[in-house]
Amino acid sequence: MGSIVDVAGIRVGHAQDSVARTGCTVVLLPENGVVCGVDVRGSAPGTRETDLLAPTAHVEVVHAIVLTGGSAFGLDAACGVVAYLEERGIGYAVGPWRVPIVPAAVLFDLNVGDGSIRPDRAMGYAAAAAATATAVVEGAAGAGAGATAGKLAGIEHAMRSGIGTASRKLGDLVVGAIAVANSIGSIYDPETHEKIAGPRASDGTFLDEGPLLAQYAGLAPPDGANTTLAIVATNARLRKVDATKLAQMAHAGLTRAVIPAHLTRDGDTIFACATGIVDAPLDVVGILAAEAVAEAIARGARAVR
């Protein structure tokens, strides 16, 4: 239920090449920036500006976050978002300049569609320009354009996944998430535990993952080819260190929806940002964030079935 744009001030934009099956998703934050944290649990991440999000780092706020396909090449999309924000005078004031802070994370989709086409500066700019606070498109859009899940038997037995969003409300507190699973693991409904996406046989039935797990070393796809990415946003009033803890807590939702997760060949990364409007206990925000992330992952996979 709901979406990340239920958090006032949050806007989402997608841009994609549906034939090449790649794209990017931009979450634009309130113009003055908001506190943000990150937690990377996978051992094969592709990221930009994540060091700035450490509680000990000087920078206090960020202005947008990018999720993108294209592996390391796709990080170029963040440059287009930086350009879009600079044109509008958004960013840290440094002398006569405005320097937008735009963290990003990538997923690997070069093995589907046309891998020679990747999200670039122009696509990132287009996604930022398309950002809106209205209903967020789910499924094979933006960073979800080339997402696949259930790769224990190799990419030829995987299913399409996609980008999804969800939110939770408790009184005045709002917590939303947007997520895309491009995972080795299968995707499950966090409430019913129904398998939504996983390795399939040629007749469309799900393969037994027990034997596949036993043969994992021989069947696993290349390093870095698998990632689940998410952004959590809330209107809670949090410190930077709290946002970091929120990102950690939100990974509980990832592990409810993606099994297995956080593997050595995954790049699982969650960002968490807070607009600072409502006082709320961090534990409550974290519980709602995990629920929203799990539902967002499931919705993204369902949207392409």
Give the CATH number, domain containing residue 46.
3.60.70.12
Query: How much helix, strand and coil, in percent to the nearest 5, is found in the chain?
Result: 30, 30, 40
Cα end-to-end span (Å), the chain? 18
3-state SS assignment for residue 138: coil
Tokens representing 139 are 């499924």
3-state SS assignment for residue 187: strand
pLDDT value at residue 128? 98
Provide block-wise average pLDDT over 10 residues at a time, the chain (305 residues).
96 97 98 97 93 94 98 97 98 95 97 95 98 96 96 89 98 98 95 94 85 58 76 98 98 96 90 98 98 98 93
In whole angstroms, give the CA distance from residue 104 to residue 67: 6
DSSP state of 142: G
DSSP run (H or E) holding 24: strand 22-28
Q: How far is CA 210 from CA 153, 213, 216, 220, in A?
A: 11, 5, 10, 14
* Of the candidates 196, 264, 200, the residue with the CA atom closest to the CA atom of residue 227: 264
The structural domain count of the chain equals 1
Residue 95 phi/psi, 5-degree rounding, is: 60, -130
* Of the candidates 133, 18, 26, 15, the residue with the CA atom closest to the CA atom of residue 78: 26
pLDDT value at residue 75? 98
Q: 266: Cβ–Cβ under 8 A, 6 or more apart, which residues?
A: 41, 42, 43, 44, 183, 184, 226, 227, 228
Residue 96 CB burial class (10 angstroms; 0-12, 13-18, ≥19): exposed
In whole angstroms, give the CA distance from residue 301 to residue 77: 24
CB atoms within 10 A of CB 42: 24
Residue range(s) defining the domain that contains residue 15? 4-302
In whole angstroms, give the CA distance from residue 24 to residue 80: 11
Whether the Cβ atoms of residue 197 and residue 189 lie closer than 8 Å to each other = no
- CA angle at residue 152 from 77 to 159, to 5 degrees? 60
In whole angstroms, give the CA distance from residue 234 to residue 274: 5
- What is the tens place of the pLDDT at every residue in 39-62? 999 888 999 999 999 999 999 999
- What is the tens place of the pLDDT at every residue in 215-248? 555 555 555 578 999 999 999 999 999 999 999 9
Give me the torsion for CA of 204, 210, 211, 212, rounded to 10°. Answer: 60
pLDDT value at residue 220? 52
Whether the Cβ atoms of residue 301 and residue 199 lie closer than 8 Å to each other = no
Q: Phi-psi region for residue 47, left (φ > 0), alpha (ψ -120 to 50) or beta?
A: beta
In whole angstroms, give the CA distance from residue 288 to residue 59: 27
